[in-house]
Each structure stands twice: as structure tokens, then as C-alpha cells.
């Protein structure tokens, strides 16, 4: 019981700022690699970018907002807006991957199913992580405003 | 039906499915956001109500404390007056005792 109480205490009382810093740094490194690494035709994302494709914009916007999070980490007002955008994107990805793609796509093989499930679990994890961070930030602002 | 027309038809269907997928995703995300915002409003309302109740309780305690302070101040003043009066009475009693002793001796 002490183990679960400790987890509850961590989620309730510990601050989220170090988490934002490390996750944003990870996002910048990971997405820079994804965006700038050349593909099999020796082109990076920006060289094959289609401005009319929504899913070409998503990683670029995510990458840009991760950079802005690092730059504006001391500005709580803008940080909340950027985290809200990150949260919206994570919800968007999950909705796309979890519900919509499976409805409109052909049945998958077991191997594809495995990677699909893995991808969904990853998206669920990030969605809950960002929702938790956003909730904690908004809660802190609300409590400060009410003088609690 | 020739191959080109089938291919074009498939392309059109795929493109249409893509557009429907995008719109469905956007609408579902927006709906999720609306419900999320609603849940946040409800949470804010609960926290504000709790804070208001807490402030009211603190205000009541403060009113009671201020009332007690006033009463203590008033009683302290009364006590000072009583001590002064008592001192005067003691002085008078002492004077009268002296007078009585003097008269008795006489």
C-alpha cells in the first residue's frame, strides 16, 4: 500500500517543471532527428513538405512548440498556451490513430497490429502526460489567483 | 471499364476518404476539447465554491475574534477604573479608620 501511496503523493505534490524541461528537450532532439534525417531518396522532411497536408504540419508544429517551451520556460502565461497546444496535438494524434484510422483502413496483419497497438499505447501515454501537466499548471494558476 | 478509369476512381475515393478522415479527426478533437473545457469549468466552480466557503468560515472566525478583542478591551478599561476606585476607597477607609481611632482615643 505504501508503494501506491507514494505514487499518489508524487502525482499530487511534486512539481512538474523538471518534467516539462526534460520532455521538451527530448522532443527537440527526437523531432530534429525525424525532420532533418534524410530518407531513402536523400531528402529531409522540409524538402518533401506539402503545405496542404495536415500531417506534414503536425510534427513541424510540435517541434516548433517544443523549442518555444524551452525558450519561454520562465513565462508561465505563454507556457500554459504552449502546453495546451501540445495537449491538443496529442489528443489529435490519438483520435486519428486510435479511432479514425482503424475505421477507414483495411484490416491489419498481426505484425502491423502489434506496432499499431504499441503506437496507440505510446500516444495514450503522451496524451495523459500532457493532460496531467496542463491540469497541474492550470490548477496552480487557479489556486494562486484564489489565494489558496 | 478500362484500367485508367478504375485507377482514377480509386484515387478519388482514397482522396475523399483522406479528407473525411481529416475532418472526422478535427471534429472529434474539437468535441474532446469542448468537453475538456467544460470539465475544467466545473472543476473551477467546485474549487471557487470551496474557497468561498473557507473565506466565509474565516470571516466568521474573524468577526468572533474581533468581538472578543473588543470585549477584552472594554473589560480591561473597566478593570482599570475599578482599581482606581478601589484605591480611592482604600484611601478613604484608611482616613476614616484614622479618624475613628483618633475619636476613640479622645
Q: Report ipTM (2 d.p.).
A: 0.71
CB contact under 8 A, A142 and B17: no
Top residue of A91, A136, A138, A144 to mutate, by most chain B CBs within 10 Å, is A91
CB contact under 8 A, A146 and B47: yes
- Asked whether the beta carbons of A115 and B45 are under 8 A apart, the reply is no
Specify the higher pLDDT residue, A110 or A126.
Answer: A126
pLDDT mean across residues, chain A: 85
Domain segments of chain A as ranges? 14-146
- Nearest Cβ partner for A148 among B20, B22, B51: B51
- Nearest Cβ partner for A142 among B17, B44, B54: B44
- Asked whether the beta carbons of A87 and A130 are under 8 A apart, the reply is yes
Question: How far, in Å, CA of A102 to CA of A96, rounded?
Answer: 9
Question: How far, in Å, CA of B65 to CA of B74, rounded?
Answer: 14
Q: Find the residue in B nearest to A87 (Cα).
A: B33
Q: Find the residue in A nearest to B16 (Cα).
A: A104
The answer, as to whether pTM is greater than 0.80, is no
Rg, Å, chain A Cα set: 18
* Band of residue B1 on the pLDDT scale cut at 50, 70, 90: very low
For residue A61, how many other CB atoms are within 10 A of its CB?
A: 13
What is the per-residue burial (b if ≥16 Cβ within 10 Å, else e) of B53-72?
A: eeeeeeeeeeeeeeeeeeee
Q: What is the DSSP string of B35-80?
A: HHHHHHHHHHHHHHHHHHHHHHHHHHHHHHHHHHHHHHHHHHHHHH
Convert the pLDDT of each residue in B54-79 to its tens digit: 889 999 999 999 999 999 999 999 99
Cβ-Cβ contacts under 8 Å, B28 against chain A: 95, 99-100
Convert the pLDDT of each residue in A74-108 to its tens digit: 988 899 999 999 899 888 888 887 766 666 666 66
Amino acid at each position: 500500500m505504501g508503494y501506491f501511496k507514494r505514487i499518489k503523493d508524487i502525482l499530487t505534490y511534486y512539481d512538474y517543471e523538471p518534467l516539462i524541461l526534460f520532455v521538451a528537450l527530448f522532443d527537440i532532439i527526437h523531432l530534429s532527428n525525424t525532420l532533418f534525417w534524410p530518407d531513402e531518396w536523400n531528402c529531409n522532411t522540409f524538402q518533401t513538405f506539402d503545405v496542404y497536408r495536415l500531417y506534414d504540419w503536425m510534427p513541424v508544429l510540435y517541434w516548433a512548440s517544443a523549442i518555444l517551451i524551452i525558450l519561454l520556460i520562465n513565462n508561465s502565461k505563454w507556457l500554459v498556451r504552449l502546453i495546451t497546444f501540445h495537449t491538443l496535438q496529442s489528443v489529435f494524434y490519438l483520435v486519428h490513430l486510435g479511432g479514425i484510422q482503424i475505421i477507414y483502413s483495411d484490416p491489419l496483419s498481426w505484425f502491423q497490429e502489434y506496432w499499431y497497438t504499441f503506437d496507440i499505447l505510446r500516444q495514450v501515454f503522451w496524451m495523459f502526460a500532457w493532460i496531467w501537466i496542463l491540469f497541474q499548471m492550470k490548477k496552480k494558476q487557479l489556486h494562486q489567483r484564489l489565494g489558496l | 471499364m478500362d484500367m485508367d478509369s478504375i485507377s482514377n476512381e480509386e484515387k478519388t475515393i482514397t482522396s475523399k476518404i483522406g479528407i473525411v478522415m481529416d475532418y472526422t479527426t478535427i471534429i472529434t478533437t474539437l468535441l474532446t476539447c469542448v468537453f475538456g473545457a467544460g470539465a475544467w469549468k466545473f472543476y473551477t466552480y467546485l474549487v471557487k465554491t470551496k474557497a468561498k466557503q473557507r473565506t466565509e468560515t474565516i470571516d466568521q472566525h474573524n468577526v468572533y475574534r474581533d468581538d472578543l478583542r473588543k470585549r477584552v478591551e472594554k473589560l480591561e478599561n473597566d478593570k482599570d477604573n475599578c482599581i482606581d476606585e478601589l484605591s480611592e476607597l482604600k484611601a478613604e477607609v484608611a482616613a476614616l479608620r484614622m479618624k475613628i481611632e483618633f475619636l476613640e482615643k479622645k
